[in-house]
Structure 1
Amino acid sequence: MDRVKRLSSENGVLIFTKSSCCMCYAVTILLQGLGVNPTVYEIDNPEGKEIEKYLTQLAGSSNGNVPVPLVFIGGTFIGSTNEIMSLHLNGSLVQLLQPYQTPAAQS
């Protein structure tokens, strides 16, 4: 979908979330703790229904539910909580986030 591509290319770190999702909050806090200010787009509103359909396909969800949070870094789809945590645990997440960190976080 064009809107997802536009949002992900315009925002260095973008998280698609649902307001009631505790893991969305946890991933957002993790990224903030690593020195980035992610753009958070909640899809549980009438405007987000079409985006949710596209994200469900993108994430390969077979049950029709979008596995939020879904994270894009530098316009590239990274994945959901499992992928973010795996990257964080193996040390790769900080490298991916480096271009988007605030100057204070880089020192």
Structure 2
Amino acid sequence: MDRVTKLAGQRAVVIFSMSSCCMCHSVMRLFRELGVNPTVVELDEDPRGKEMDKALVRLLGRNPAVPAVFIGGRLVGSTDKVMSLHLSGNLVPLLRNAGALWV
């Protein structure tokens, strides 16, 4: 859990992902199209990925836990929450407040 919390707090936007997850790719694409360069932690490519995945499952209360999106060091959630924020117009202000967007 400490590793997840530490990584999530190091950048404005952190996405915990699996390289083969299509929903992870969709969320990353949305952020990039908005002009955000998220830090992506590919759990299947990290030596401590299984440990972090278990921590994310506990945090989110679901399995699979990816994508798990953190903005400003706080857990936002997965694809459905990110898309809901985007469609309601609340994602961009959240990204601005976290310092991920300058415009």
TM-score after normalising by structure 2: 0.92
Over the matched positions of the two proteins, sequence identity in percent amounts to 54
Q: Which runs of 5+ in 2 are unaligned?
A: none
Number of equivalences: 100
> In structure 2, how many angstroms separate the alpha carbons of the residues matched to 1:10 and 1:82?
24
Report deviation, 1:47.
Answer: 2.1
Unaligned 5+ residue runs, structure 1?
none
Aligned to 2:73: 75
Partner-residue secondary structure (3-state), 1:91: coil
Cα displacement string for residues 71-95 of structure 1 (whole angstroms, at most 9, x for unaligned residues): 0000000000000000000000000
Match runs of 1:1-107 below 5 Å: 1-45=1-45, 46-61=47-62, 65-98=63-96, 99-101=99-101, 103=102, 106=103
Give the AA of the match of 2:14: L
Equivalents in 1 of 2:84, 2:94: separation in Å?
A: 13
Q: What displacement does 1:66 show?
A: 2.4
Larger Rg: 1
In the alignment, the residues of structure 1 paired with residue 91 and residue 28 of structure 2 have an alpha-carbon distance, to the nearest angstrom, of 13
Q: Which runs of 4+ in 1 moved over 3 A?
A: none
TM-score by length of 1: 0.88
Q: Provide the aligned C-alpha RMSD in A.
A: 1.1
3-state DSSP of counterpart to 1:40: strand
Letter in 2 for 1:53: K
In the TM superposition, residue 55 of structure 1 has moved relative to its aligned partner by 0.3
